[in-house]
Amino acid sequence: MSEAESLLPAVSRAADRVCHLMWLLMRQEPEVMALAEEHHSLGFPHYLTSRMGVIPSSHWADEVFIAPPSLIEHLLPRCEALDPPGYVDLSLRAAGQALRRISPDAETGGLQQIADAVEAQGELVVGWTNWPRSGDRYRDAVRDAMLVREDRAHGHYQAAAQEGLTPLQLLVLTQIWRGRDVGMISKGFRWGDDEVALAQEYLRERELLNADGSITDSGRVLRDGIEGSTNRFAGRYLGKLGEERLRDLAAELDQLGSI
């Protein structure tokens, strides 16, 4: 295994942990909570606007794969009222303040180097690439994490599409592949029960799921393959940094991945 391949889990983990400082999905940092409460944007309005505000709001429904387009369209007026570019700026500032409080000694230079090496594909990734850094290393670490995470997500959905899966079908298969409750898709991501049932039926027809809803051997092979393709896509630019620098990055990324 090359240095780039061995570093990929640490890159993904660090980007995820830093992004979740801002999103209010897995953790609720007081700096970000105060922002959302002040703007009455708790929940999906905050998540969508802080993530998608780097591109025109008319394109959001085409770029948010984890939630149904109907939800995006329903929430769009509320999100637009927040002034999306301005809200992104405020969200990055708040999440950066949280990172400074939690890990004042965090090394962020490696994450910046990785973000600078990304070969942007997809509108959302390009939007984050074009979003300027502020000069505050904590705030900019959140910006860089968003870029790295969105790049991986772009490759992930591309790999699924090449296997004939829609985003929802991928989400259903992934929940089962990870041993998680499919019911969380309706509760957490607001997909309709009928939509989830249709996705399950499609996966059964392709013999990726058994009649009882468990994953088949073919389903596991296909989902493993998507993960492999995603990793190859996400790691395509790491080689630019050189083997020696990649070895040095491991400790920095592990620190960010543990916040």
Q: pLDDT digits over 198-245, tens only?
A: 999 999 999 999 999 999 999 999 999 999 999 999 988 888 888 888
What are 25-28's contacts with CB under 8 Å, separation 24+? none
Encode pLDDT of 14-37 as tens digits. Answer: 999 999 999 998 899 999 999 999
pLDDT of residue 1: 57
97 close to 31: Cβ distance less than 8 angstroms: yes
- Tell me: do 8 and 100 sit in the same domain: yes
Backbone phi and psi for residue 150, each to the nearest 5 degrees, phi listed first: -65, -30
- For residue 221, being part of any structural domain is answered with yes
Q: What domain range includes position 124?
A: 3-151+242-257
pLDDT score, position 13 = 95
Q: Is residue 174 part of a domain?
A: yes
Q: What pTM does this model have?
A: 0.94
> Cα–Cα distance between 191 and 136 in angstroms, integer?
38
208 and 137: one domain?
Answer: no
Among the residue ranges 17-21, 71-75, 236-240, 252-256, the one predicted with the least confidence is 236-240
Q: Do 110 and 51 fall into the same domain? A: yes
If asked whether residues 147 and 186 sit together in one domain, one would say no
Q: Do 142 and 16 belong to one domain?
A: yes
Same domain, 127 and 166: no
| Window from 30-34, 153-157, 189-193 with minimum mean pLDDT | 189-193
Average pLDDT, the chain: 95
Assess whether 111 and 36 both reside in one domain: yes
- Do 147 and 168 belong together in one domain? no
Judged against a pLDDT cut of 90, whether residue 250 lies above it is answered with no
CA triple 117-122-124, angle to 5 deg: 90
Decide if 32 is inside a domain.
Answer: yes
Task: Examine the domain organization and report whether 246 and 217 are in the same domain.
Answer: no
Cα 152 from Cα 167, distance rounded (Å): 14
189 and 68 within one domain:
no
Mean pLDDT, range 166-172, rounded to an integer: 97
> How far separated are the first and last CA of the chain, in Å rounded?
27
The residues, ordered by sequence, that sit 6+ positions from 78 with a Cβ below 8 Å of its Cβ are 41, 45
As a dihedral over the C-alpha atoms of residue 121, residue 44, residue 141, residue 247, rounded to 10 degrees, the angle is -70
**What per-residue confidence (pLDDT) applies to 31?**
98
Domain annotation covers residue 51: yes
Amino acid at residue number 155: G
95 shares its domain with 168 = no
Domain count, the chain: 2
Whether residue 152 has pLDDT greater than 60: yes
Cβ within 8 Å of residue 99, ≥6 positions away: 18, 21, 106, 138, 141, 142, 259
Q: What's the average model confidence in pLDDT over 99-119?
A: 95
Burial label, 138 (beta-carbon count in 10 A; 0-12, 13-18, 19+): buried
What's the rounded mean pLDDT across residues 101-110? 95
Is the pLDDT reported for residue 251 higher than 90? Answer: no
Is the predicted pLDDT of residue 41 greater than 80, yes or no? yes
Distance of CA 23 to the CA centre of its chain: 10
Q: What angle do CA 177, 178, 184 make, to 5 degrees?
A: 100
Are 80 and 198 within one domain? no
Spatial distance between the Cα atoms of 211 and 232, rounded to a whole number of angstroms: 32
* Separation of alpha carbons 239 and 246, rounded Å: 8
Percent of the chain having pLDDT more than 70?
100
